[in-house]
Amino acid sequence: MNNNALHTAEARIREQIAAYCLSNEVPGFVAGVYRAGEQIVVAHGTANVATGAPMRADTGFLFGSVTKVLTTTLVLQQVERGLLDLDAPVVRYLPEFALTAPGAAEKILVRHLISHTNGIDADLFFPDAKGRDSLKTYVEGLARNCGVLFEPGEQLSYSNGGMIVAGRLLEVVTGLSFPDLLERDVYAPVGMTDSSTSAERAILRSTAIGHFPDPETMAAEPTGMFTLPDTWGPAGGTPIGTVADLLAFGRTHLAGGVSPSGTRVLSAGSTALMQQVSHDMATPNVPPMGLGWVRYPFGDTIVLAMSGASPGGVSILCVVPEHDLVFTAFGNTAGAIMLHDQILRWLLSEHLGVRIPTLINESAQDIDLTPYVGTYRSDQLRVEVGVVDGQLEERVTYEPADASQERIFTEFAGGTTAAPPQRYVPIRPGLFAPAGYPFETFDGYLRLLLVSFHDIRDGRARFRNGGGRLTRRA
């Protein structure tokens, strides 16, 4: 990218951000692009509507689940140092790791934790604990509260629980707390000089907060919860940093594990292993998974990506090795994910000349919908699937395990935990698109909105996949 091309991209991205934020009640947005030695950062709007603080290029924000790639990097570092074996059972290092299903935990390998193939049914398990023993508290809680969705390695389901167990594993084998390890072995060698692991540290510099739409006016209102509990640190609950810091991390993975300052953070072999396919569900709404990275195919071009939700905010990190490009962004309402997708698609198609193929051409007729009808469940979630007017209709219900879980999840969701019924049109057997969206919506990152059904036995699907997460037929 020459300076002129960089200037053109910066101007275009600035226009996209301003237009989208104005029409969609997004208070603030910050984005960065690195390509071939050049880098831009664009900031727009307000970081916090309560204070009026501006969103600046160096404003910090919650990484959310982008943290999962950092956690995976830490795991691979310990593998290189001989402290962990990817193909060893987790219980070798963490004997207290257990689930409610007898013998289930013993089958889970270290590799399964970071490839989202572990089957731990804990996606909405939010134990409330702070401090040094918070991850220990989380693992103890799994044994009392959480079972399994599938046999390890059998399916792919986005796993917060797996990453948190990986974080506790790191604590045990290194003797350091997860925040201390993250700062020592990722932040410092990568050069993430403005990143922290707590609200207490973040408050000392410019930091954005999330916002939720007011139910009546739809105006953005500040979140009442800044971070999730410390128990969710390795999955994305607490790490906070800037666009420049995430660009440096992305560049480290572009450069075979060497940071922009020249420090080796990860071996070339481990960096490549993270980018290789570890599991493929062979459905467009669940892109193939590497270790930590999700591999989004845009035609022949692979985008390594991870997005991260925080209370009222959403981040994204994308690395495109083939084109020496890193893109990262944060918007302080959940709807900013649409803008992430818009900018990513513009960068690929207009800036890099990547042809983005159409994923879905048309809906399908005469598909038997009966295999998909029924009730599907996962941790504290029930999905009722029925047929209305030739379409599937889903009703999603949150069923909190206790008052503490309900309080945390309700705050994380901005007070709204019930969704109206959603209709889906059939695309092909086992694949459905939400009704009312133009099909080109799903060509990019938002292919996650599609719903798929898997493992049909005796005429009934065993699993439903929405947003990369599995629920199992009750």
Cβ–Cβ < 8 Å for 469, 378: yes
Looking at the structure, tell me whether residues 298 and 352 fall in a common domain: yes
**Sign of the dihedral defined by the CA atoms of residues 191, 192, 198, 201, in that order:** positive
Please say if the pLDDT value at position 284 is more than 70.
yes
Amino acid at 172: V
Domain of 299, CATH number, reads 3.40.710.10
- End of a domain among 303, 330, 357? 357
What proportions of the chain, in percent to the nearest 5, are helix, strand and coil?
A: 35, 25, 40
Domain boundary among 325, 357, 389: 357
Residue 387 and residue 336 in one domain: no
346 and 418 fall within a common domain: no
- Looking at the fold, whether 304 and 439 belong to one and the same domain comes out as no
Question: Is 238 contained in some domain?
Answer: yes
Name the DSSP letter for residue 123: T
Reply yes or no on whether the pLDDT at 149 is more than 60. Answer: yes
Q: How many domains does the chain have?
A: 2
The confidence band for 314, taking pLDDT boundaries of 50, 70 and 90, is very high
Per the domain annotation, does 362 fall within a domain? no
Amino acid at 209: I
Structure-token pair, residue 133: 């023993």
Average pLDDT, the chain: 96
pLDDT at 419: 84
Is residue 293 one of the residues assigned to a domain?
yes
Q: How far apart are CA 429 and CA 452, in angstroms?
A: 9
Amino acid, res. 443 = D
C-alpha to C-alpha distance for 68 and 102, rounded to whole angstroms: 28
Residue 409 belongs to domain spanning: 370-473
User: What's the CA gap between 305 and 316, in Å, rounded?
Assistant: 7
pLDDT at 416: 78
- pLDDT tens for 348-395 read 999 999 999 999 999 998 999 999 999 999 999 999 999 999 999 999
Residue 10 shares a structural domain with residue 66: yes
Q: What is the pLDDT of residues 241-268, one digit of tens each?
A: 999 999 999 999 999 999 999 999 999 9
CB-based contact 357:341 (threshold 8 Å):
no
Within this chain, do residues 291 and 428 fall inside the same structural domain, yes or no? Answer: no
**Which of 306, 329, 357 lies at the terminal end of a domain, its last residue?**
357
Name residue, tokens 């600046």.
56
